[in-house]
Amino acid sequence: MLILPTRRQVLGGFGASALTLGSGGAYAFVVEPRFRLALTRYGLTPPGWDPTHRLRIAVLADIHVCEPYMPLDRVAEIVAATNALAPDLILLLGDYPAGRKVTWHRVPLPDFARLAAELRAPLGTYAILGNHDWWDDREAMRAGKGPVEVRRLLEARGIPVLENDTVRLVHDGRPFWIAGLADQEPFLPIGSRRSLADLPGTLAKVTDAAPVILMAHEPDIFVGVPARVSLTLSGHTHGGQIRLFGYSPVLPSRYGQRFAYGHVVEEGRHLIVSGGLGVSSVGIRFGVPPEIVLIELGGDAPVS
C-alpha cells in the first residue's frame, strides 16, 4: 500500500529539500510541483449532517494533465494513492487539462480518462467541470455550449459529470445529496464573463431534507450558498501555488485571501478549498504542495 505523507510532514521537509538542491527556486520549480504529494485531512460534522453518520470523501482538484508537470505516470500515482485511502466516495472538482503556458507536451485526454476510471469507491466517483475544461475545448467554448470533450470522455468511462445537477446517495442507510455546479468562468478567454452555474436551479432538484454536499469549481460562489448546503467543496485557486505564512500573493478570486485555501467557516456555513494537484499559468509551487484531500464527516473524526 502506498502511504502518503501528511501536509505537515511535507511542509516540514521542504527546507531540507531546497538546501539539497542548492536553492529554493529549484525546489519550487522542480520538486514541489512534480514530485511532492501531500495528504490533507479534514474532520468535521457540518450543519445538517448526522453526527453518527461517518463518511470518507476523497477529493481531487485541478489535476491539469500535461508534460512535464502531470504526465500519465503521475496521474496513475495519484489514482493509486487515492484508492489506498479506501474512501466511500470520490469527487473530482474540475480542470483536467493544463493551460498552454505550462504545457510542453499535451497528454491525450482519452488516456487521462482511462486512468480516472480506475478510481475505486463503493459510492462511486462524481465530477464537475472547471474553467480549463472549457478553455481547452475551443470549439465548445466559442459555441457557448457543451458538452466539452473531457465530459464526454469521463462519462464514457462511467464517471458522471454533474452540470447544475444532483444525485441522491445512500450510505449506511442514511441519504445525502451530491450537487454539482457548472463552471462560473467558461468563456473568459473570449471576453465573456457569463457564468453557467445555476445555484438556485441546482438546489431546486433536491427533493427532501437530506444533507447536501455541493461541488463548485470556483469558490467565489460560496458567498451566495445558502445554509441548506452542509458543505461546499471547491478548487481553482491552487492555494495561489505560492503560499507563505498563510498568505498567497496571487489568487484567481475576487475575494483575495478570503477563499484562498483550506477550511473556511462563515455564518455557520462550511467551505473546503483544495490546493489542487497540478499547475497553471506558471510551473511553480512553493508552500502549497499538490494534495489529495480526505474529508471525514461525522463520528469522532479528528478536526483538521
Q: Tell me the three state secondary structure of residue 293.
A: strand
- pLDDT, one tens digit per residue, over 9-55 is 334 444 444 334 345 678 999 999 999 999 999 999 999 999 999 99
Q: Any residues with CB less than 8 A from the CB of 280 and at least 6 apart, and which?
A: 62, 64, 95, 98, 99, 101, 102, 132, 238
- Cis peptide upstream of residue 5 (ω within 30 degrees of 0): no
pLDDT recorded at residue 18: 39
State which H helix or E strand residue 122 sits in: none
Least confident of 117-126, 155-164, 293-302: 293-302
Q: For residues 29 and 302, which has the higher predicted lDDT (pLDDT)?
A: 29
Whether residue 134 is predicted with pLDDT greater than 80 in this model: the reply is yes
59, 139, 294 from 231: Cα distances, Å = 13, 34, 14
What band does 300 get if pLDDT is binned at 50, 70 and 90?
Answer: low
Task: Please tell me the distance from the alpha carbon of residue 132 to that of residue 99, in angstroms, as a whole number.
Answer: 7
Mean pLDDT, residues 209-225: 98
Q: For residues 133 and 19, which has the higher predicted lDDT (pLDDT)?
A: 133
pLDDT recorded at residue 25: 77
What band does 212 get if pLDDT is binned at 50, 70 and 90?
Answer: very high
Q: Helices 109-116 and 72-84, interaxial angle, to 10°?
A: 10
Secondary structure, 3-state, 203-242: HCCCCCCCCEEEECCCHHHHHHCCCCEEEEEECCCHHHCE
Mean pLDDT, residues 206-232: 98
Provide the whole-model pTM.
0.92
Task: Please tell me the distance from the alpha carbon of residue 132 to that of residue 149, in angstroms, as a whole number.
Answer: 11
pLDDT recorded at residue 26: 84
Hey, what domains does the chain have and what are their CATH numbers? 7-297 (3.60.21)
| Residue among 49, 292, 83 at smallest CA distance from 171 | 49
Residues 291/277, Cβ–Cβ less than 8 Å: yes
pLDDT recorded at residue 183: 98
Q: Tell me the three state secondary structure of residue 50.
A: coil
Mean pLDDT, residues 137-141: 94
pLDDT recorded at residue 112: 98
pLDDT recorded at residue 159: 98
* CA neighbours closer than 13 Å in the CB half-sphere of residue 136: 28
User: Residue 285's Cα: distance from chain center in Å?
Assistant: 16
| Residue among 140, 154, 117 at smallest CA distance from 187 | 140
- pLDDT, one tens digit per residue, over 236-292 is 999 999 999 999 999 999 999 999 999 999 999 999 999 999 999 999 999 999 999
Least confident of 8-17, 101-110, 122-131: 8-17
Average pLDDT, the chain: 92
pLDDT recorded at residue 23: 57
Instruction: Return the residue matching grid coordinates 457564468.
Output: 195
